[in-house]
Amino acid sequence: MMESGGETYRVEDTMMRIAAACGRERSHSYVTPTGIIFSIDGPDSGTRLVRISERSTDLQKVTDVNDISRRIAQGQLSVQEAIQLLRELETAKVGYPFRVKLLCAAIASGCFMIMFQGEWADFAAAFVIGGAALSSVTFFHWLVKAKLFSELLAAVIVGVLACLAVQIGAGNQLDKIILGSVMPLVPGLLITNAVRDLIAGHFVSGLSKGAEALLTAFAIGSGIAFVLAFYNGAGW
């Protein structure tokens, strides 16, 4: 769940509930974005540590795990069945095919451009560049496993394409086009999750999520800024 972008408290809560349903009332869980520690008190006590390295947003998985835990807590599922279901979920390819996501990213970019007071004349440009943003970030992430690097390169591509679009007359407002097109990259989920964790008292989680969001925002900002610096300087 943590890998898929669930809230910290929900992960902790889920683990404690499952433990309680299995007859282990006294359990402790400590969840951070990079690792989970879980221990059970009592005569046959035990502790587990799980390391988390990949993080993304997959709310389908969060929902499914939540369903399973609810059924365990209500006693509808035995432990073996639950483990079986979770294993299946881990390997299952849930979610939408990439072309659907691409289309959605493109449409969403166009729509956001309009919402930020853009002109309809720029819709096509934002549509194309928003799609390019998602495909390039996916491609670069597949190429190199460094998140920061893939986001930076994707932002550079967005910047170049947006400048080109304005240059050849396919768009008018450079700012609005860039704004709409980077929306698929912007770490909106992370930022708010970070502040929520902080307010809830999960300081380690909040700060590390905040750092991740800040890095992403920095990558996008500097990628775009890099292109704009050349564009304004050279004046082509």
Partner 1 sequence: MNMLEQLVTSFIGTAGFSVLFNVPRRTVVQCGFVGLLGWLIYISCLEVPADPIIAALLASCVVAVISQICAKVYKTPIIVFSIAGIIPLVPGGTAYDAMRSFVEYDYETALQLAAKAFMISGAIAIGLVFSEAINQAIRKLKIN
Task: Quote the least distance from Cβ 184 to partner 1, whole Å.
Answer: 6
Backbone angles phi, psi at 23, to 5 degrees: 90, 15
96 binds partner 1 (CB under 8 A): yes
Residues binding partner 1: number (CB under 8 A): 57
The per-residue DSSP string of 75-131 comes to T-S-HHHHHHHHHHHHHS--S--HHHHHHHHHHHHHHHHHHTT--GGGHHHHHHHHH
Binding mask 47-76 for partner 1 (x = CB under 8 A): ----------xxxxxxx--xx--x------
Round to whole Å and give the CA distance between 175 and 25. Answer: 56
Contacting residue, 141, 196, 207, 208, with partner 1 by CB under 8 A:
196
134 binds partner 1 (CB under 8 A): yes
Closest CA relative to residue 131, chosen from 154, 150, 115, 149: 154
| Cβ proximity of 197 and 209 under 8 Å | yes
Q: Which residues bind partner 1 (CB under 8 A)?
A: 4-7, 10, 57-63, 66-67, 70, 94-96, 100-101, 104-105, 107-108, 110-112, 114-117, 134, 175, 178-179, 182-184, 186, 188-189, 191-192, 195-196, 198-200, 217, 220-222, 224-225, 228-229, 232
